[in-house]
Chains A and B, each alone.
Chain A
Amino acid sequence: MLAMNYRGPYRVRADHKPDPVIEHPGDAIVRVTRSCICGSDLHLYHGMVPDTRVGHTFGHEFIGVVEDVGSGVHNLKVGDRVLVPFNLFCGSCFFCQRELFGNCHNTNPEATAVGAIYGYSHTAGGYDGGQAEFVRVPMADVGPYVIPDDIHDDDAVLLTDALPTGYQAAEMGDIQEGDTVVVFGAGPVGIFAAKSAWLMGAGRVIVVDCVDYRLEFVKRYAQCEVVNFLEVNDMALHIKKMTDWMGADVCIDAVGGDASGNISQTITGRLMKIQGGAATVLHWCINSVRKGGNVSIVGVYGPTTNMVPIGNALNKGLTLRMNQASVKRHLPRLIEHIRAGHIDPKQIITHRIPLEEVADAYHIFSSKLDNCIKPILIPPSANQVRAVSATAAH
């Protein structure tokens, strides 16, 4: 099959590799019809995540059609159109039993510090991901979600990660009516976090980034205020001035370790890699939120260590909440929002690129070329008619 193939930092290509096979009775094989490149794939692409092996296929945002199932799978059948949450989870461990599906303890032998994620290095379990024609989907009775007929493929693929993560970012902010919410990052997750903040009753939503075309987009799409941090001398002071000198009630980090905006963080976090990424945004969140406020983190950082002003968080009495999104618990409610017209996820898709051109897709997204917000990859298998169906038709 054709699959994205990691060759080293900033180097990927489409290459052939063997089709995945059923390795466990609970497995399914899914034929991919669409997959996205996620902002967190860029951490892998930039070589920031330890144990990213050459030959790895990225991709944790994908949908497709069930092609084969193991003997233990009862809830899915061949031909089902499914969206696959980015977390790979068992459903039965201590954490899954508490709906913390992003923190499953049964699917990632390589680490205890992170759950398992499709196509996200061996630190996240060593599973090849969905930027390919086919994927092995373990625990198929638990993870995948059959896409309702009225939900468009382009909306469904954004329900695998970007939308639930943005929504959970707002939810972890514990937004009260009238709160001022500052979202750092106008990428897909930040855009959805801004949109979700309104659903939860925010009074003001302010999005901060340095890329003008993204700020223009989010201003229109999420009906929010925007700040370009390149035009601001000091981020925390600026937010205080905007919020009657109190600071925001809630700050959301939707950027993570690839942040720009502070030279010492960039050098130590992104170039020297002695931090788990540049913690610029987390620093800004802690210093821009009001006393007693909430900081919600969904931006991804590496497993090593980071320099953040934790003393200020203590002295200000902040609540810091963070997690990988527990995608599956959010799906029913998010589908209701899509049906009600509160959110139209597919509007953020700017690029459709054949899987064969994956190297260009990564470069365009990473370098923010051509006003890119969200690229999706279409594998050659997307329009393939299943051999079984063809046979059945005879």
Chain B
Amino acid sequence: MEPRKEDSGHHHHHGHDHGHGHLQMHPSQGHLEPRRPSREELSHIQGWGADLDRKNRPAVPMERTPPRFIDAKPGDPPQQPETVEVLVSPERPGITPIFGTAQPPSGLSGMIRRLAFKSTENDLRHWMLLLLADRVNVVEGVVEDLARGHVPNILGEMGIKSEMKHNPAGLAKKVAITAAVVGAAVYLMKRSDRDQVGYEGDRYGKRYYR
């Protein structure tokens, strides 16, 4: 690498006070040029330069037609029949020939999703409503589990087993913090209950409280 030229002498003396109290002199940055290693220096790199020639890079040019690597048939694929409700972006004139049919919209979250699809992708409300629907859907998921007699093992679903195995110290810390927060909340609530009892008791006498 070409060493950067640094002017010696007065450039390094900061604050020559000739009536310019705050004038600070900087070294000249000199000529800047990045160093490039030679091919010899890079010869130990496995496969170095195999695709230096752009002819070897599959996506150069970025757009290439007709396409290679696929057996493209002329015309659009036949239309998939709609067997479940599919929400379609308002930025399309109709449904695509192929689509997914997993988890059709349902319940309250489904209603919010339908509302979201009344606005375009270009409208932030579309996405914010979908995020809201996702959160509502989480509650629906728990209710649905309980309705079919399955109590979800939420800690298990969050991977607590692996946390115990690989990060016991972290888990202990999380438990301690949670216990402290819950403990503080319980204490504050109890204190506020006691205040309440005192007040009510004063007002109505002791007969309501055993």
Contacts and interface: CB of A to CB of B under 8 A. Distances in A.
Interface residues of B, number: 93
Interface residues of A, number: 101
Given A142-B71, A177-B52, A26 B86 contact: no
Interface string A104-133: 011111111100100000110111100000
A376 to B, nearest CB: 15
A82 to B, nearest CB: 14
A100 B63 contact: yes
B76 interface: yes
A284 interface: no
A92 B167 CA distance: 49
Please list the 7 inter-chain residue pairs (A to B) with the smallest Cβ-Cβ separation, ordered nearest first: A363-B159, A342-B47, A126-B100, A178-B36, A8-B138, A127-B100, A50-B130
A341 B37 CA distance: 24
Given A91-B72, A367-B167, A125 B78 contact: no
Interface of B: 1, 4, 29, 32-37, 42, 44-52, 56-60, 62-78, 80-81, 83, 86-89, 91-92, 95-103, 105, 109, 113, 116-117, 121, 124, 127-128, 130-131, 133-135, 137-138, 140-142, 144, 152-154, 156-163, 165-167
Contacts of B66: 97
A106 B77 contact: yes
B97 A106 contact: yes
A8 B48 contact: no
A99 interface: yes
Given A9-B138, A128-B100, A359-B158, A26 B77 contact: yes
A7 B141 contact: yes
Interface of A: 7-13, 23-26, 47, 50-57, 72, 75, 88, 90-93, 96-101, 105-113, 116, 122-123, 125-128, 138-139, 141-142, 168, 171-172, 177-178, 180, 195-196, 198-201, 203-204, 223, 243-246, 249, 273, 290, 302-305, 326, 328-333, 337, 340-343, 357, 359-364, 367, 369-370
A150 to B, nearest CB: 18
B78 A72 contact: yes
26 contacts: A11-B158, A50-B130, A51-B133, A96-B67, A97-B66, A99-B63, A99-B67, A99-B69, A100-B62, A108-B99, A109-B86, A122-B102, A126-B103, A141-B73, A171-B57, A171-B59, A198-B45, A201-B48, A223-B46, A290-B34, A303-B127, A329-B58, A333-B51, A337-B47, A363-B163, A367-B159
A331 to B, nearest CB: 7
A106 B159 contact: no
Contacts of B56: 333
Contact of B157 (A12, A126, A302): A12
Nearest to A117: B100
Contacts of B158: 10-11, 359, 363
Contacts of B62: 100
Contact of A7 (B65, B95, B152): B152
A275 to B, nearest CB: 11
A13 B156 contact: yes
B67 A201 contact: no
B102 A7 contact: no
Given A8-B141, A204-B37, A359-B157, 17 more contacts: A10-B158, A11-B154, A47-B134, A53-B134, A54-B137, A72-B78, A92-B77, A105-B96, A108-B99, A110-B88, A110-B89, A111-B89, A199-B50, A201-B52, A245-B29, A341-B47, A359-B158
